[in-house]
């Protein structure tokens, strides 16, 4: 099938210049780089963007993308504005994989890396193919200096730290081969010195050149009904589906495996009496959140003055605002029994409200005694506009928790206030996608229709 776009001599350059949308889902690169960072659902479930962000000379299965021509590769390598975007795309994917680039060519794990790597370390994981494609693009687009350091870092995770044993076959059969002869020899020497573990022979690649994925049709949207468990992903109760998403998109085997894990964990936790559940114990100030966390009273009394903790700690949010599905392996799923106990215990319910007010203050907002929301600190609010890498997901979780833990009356007023900040006053325009796709979906049908009616027609 021919591309939906007019033919151009340099389509990959045009895409990186933000002059051409990525088909078949019609999104500009600036939107991907500015709004998708940290949105694990989109990055995991959408299969078209990877061929556009990381083009190489081979044609992938996305029939709407274009192989990289030698002329285009030369343009990329000579233009710093395009190379800057390539690096941004690479760092976005590193974050998605629980990694980050430090300095010019050093790599480290992010704080929540163990959760993310547990999902990446599965059988037949399409992300292993994506990494092959990314490596080839780094070579073609002027960042070959990052390839060997990244591959050494990946080798440590596979052979030394045993965090990615399922990726070893892709590493040995595909990733190594993206290097030139000299760097390949250096990497082989490096790996030979690492301790060898008993590893699986699983690989997702069907042939050495295969870096493609199954591409959704143009009419298919970007999410699946199954959540991504273990990643700090948007958490959606099983009875809630996004009105703008197609629930019929098939799941990968790894997603199905993760969904079963979530169901098993929820069943296990649900079998515990409410008095012994970790969530209730945490809310009663009997245990700290895990791992290496603090007690809820300490959080509520001191963290409002420690914004760096609210910004950088990736575990507390799953304990303060538990949902019926896991968002983190460290945070237990909310059971119906837990929810009922919190709803019917004024002390615990008040702590939910106090936690909510703490987060509002962190985001530059305020709630008065009449349940009216106000702008309290414009500087904090403007920072929220740049926090799209994970705090928009936190707001999704907070909305679900308010609904499930006895503060449902706050949902609609807060949503109206958020709508005013996003669509009318434009303080946090970067949150518009999260609002339309995730936040509004927390509301009941009647409220959801009312909210859609309040939004500008072009939203």
402-447 pLDDT tens trace? 999 999 999 999 999 999 999 998 899 988 888 988 899 999 999 9
**240 three-class SS:** coil
pLDDT at 306: 87
392: Cα within 13 Å, side-chain hemisphere: 29
pLDDT at 288 over 50: yes
Whether the pTM exceeds 0.95: the reply is no
Residue with token string 């001191």: 302
pLDDT at 62: 65
pLDDT at 264 over 90: no
- Among residues 354, 364, 362, 360, the alpha carbon closest in space to that of 296 is found at 354
Give 62 or 312, the one with higher predicted confidence: 312
pLDDT at 144: 96
pLDDT at 95: 93
* 92 alpha carbon, distance to own chain's centre: 10
Distance between start and end Cα atoms, the chain: 31
Rounded-to-integer distance, Cα 80 and Cα 76, Å: 8
Mean pLDDT of 380-397: 80
pLDDT at 326: 55
Residue with token string 């996305």: 62
pLDDT in tens, 107-153: 999 988 988 898 888 877 899 999 999 999 999 999 999 999 999 99
DSSP letter for each residue of 384-396: HTT-TTTHHHHHH
**Angle at 121 (CA atoms; ends 118, 126), nearest 5 degrees:** 125
Mean pLDDT of 386-397: 77
**262 three-class SS:** helix
The residues facing 101 across adjacent strands are 107
pLDDT at 295: 95
- Among residues 211, 210, 233, the alpha carbon closest in space to that of 223 is found at 233
Rounded-to-integer distance, Cα 367 and Cα 186, Å: 59
The residues facing 99 across adjacent strands are 109
How many residues appear in the chain? 459
Say whether the peptide bond before residue 24 is cis (omega within 30 degrees of 0): yes
pLDDT in tens, 36-87: 888 887 888 888 899 999 999 987 666 788 999 999 999 999 999 999 999 9
């Amino acid at each position: 099938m021919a591309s939906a776009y007019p033919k151009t001599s340099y389509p990959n350059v045009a895409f990186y210049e933000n002059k051409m949308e990525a088909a078949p889902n019609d999104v500009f690169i600036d939107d991907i780089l500015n709004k998708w960072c940290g949105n694990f659902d989109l990055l995991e479930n959408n299969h078209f963007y990877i061929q556009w962000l990381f083009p190489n000379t081979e044609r992938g299965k996305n029939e709407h993308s274009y192989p990289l021509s030698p002329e285009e590769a030369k343009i990329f390598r000579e233009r710093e504005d395009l190379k800057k975007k390539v690096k941004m795309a690479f760092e976005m994917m590193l974050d998605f994989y629980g990694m980050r680039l430090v300095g010019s060519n050093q790599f480290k794990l992010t704080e929540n890396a163990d959760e993310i790597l547990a999902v990446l370390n599965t059988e037949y994981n399409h992300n292993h193919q994506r990494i092959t494609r990314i490596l080839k693009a780094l070579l073609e687009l002027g960042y070959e200096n990052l390839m060997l350091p990244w591959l050494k870092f990946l080798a440590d995770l596979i052979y030394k730290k045993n965090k990615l044993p399922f990726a070893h076959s892709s590493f040995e059969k595909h990733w190594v081969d993206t290097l030139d002869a000299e760097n390949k020899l250096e990497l082989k020497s490096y790996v030979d010195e690492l301790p060898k573990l008993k590893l699986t022979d699983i690989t997702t690649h069907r042939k050495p050149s295969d870096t493609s994925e199954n591409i959704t049709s143009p009419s298919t949207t970007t999410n699946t009904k199954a959540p991504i468990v273990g990643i700090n992903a948007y958490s959606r109760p099983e009875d809630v589906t996004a009105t703008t998403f197609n629930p019929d998109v098939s799941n990968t085997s790894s997603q199905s495996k993760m969904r079963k894990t979530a169901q098993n964990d929820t069943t296990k936790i649900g079998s515990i009496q409410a008095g012994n559940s970790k969530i209730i114990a945490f809310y009663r100030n009997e245990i700290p959140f895990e791992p290496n966390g603090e007690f809820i009273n300490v959080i509520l009394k001191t963290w409002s003055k420690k914004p760096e903790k609210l910004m950088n700690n990736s575990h507390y949010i799953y304990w303060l605002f538990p949902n019926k599905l896991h968002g983190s392996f460290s945070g237990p799923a909310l059971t119906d029994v837990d929810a009922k106990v919190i709803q019917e215990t004024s002390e615990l319910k008040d702590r939910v409200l106090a936690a909510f007010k703490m987060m509002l203050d962190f985001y530059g907002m305020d709630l008065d005694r009449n349940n009216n929301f106000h702008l309290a600190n414009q500087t904090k609010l403007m920072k929220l506009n740049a926090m799209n890498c994970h705090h928009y997901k936190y707001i999704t979780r907070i909305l679900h928790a308010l609904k499930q833990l006895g503060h449902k009356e706050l949902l609609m007023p807060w949503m109206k206030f958020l709508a005013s900040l996003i669509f009318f006053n434009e303080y946090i325009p970067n949150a518009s996608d999260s609002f339309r796709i995730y936040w509004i979906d927390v509301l009941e049908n009647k409220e959801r229709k009312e909210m859609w009616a309040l939004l500008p027609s072009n939203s």
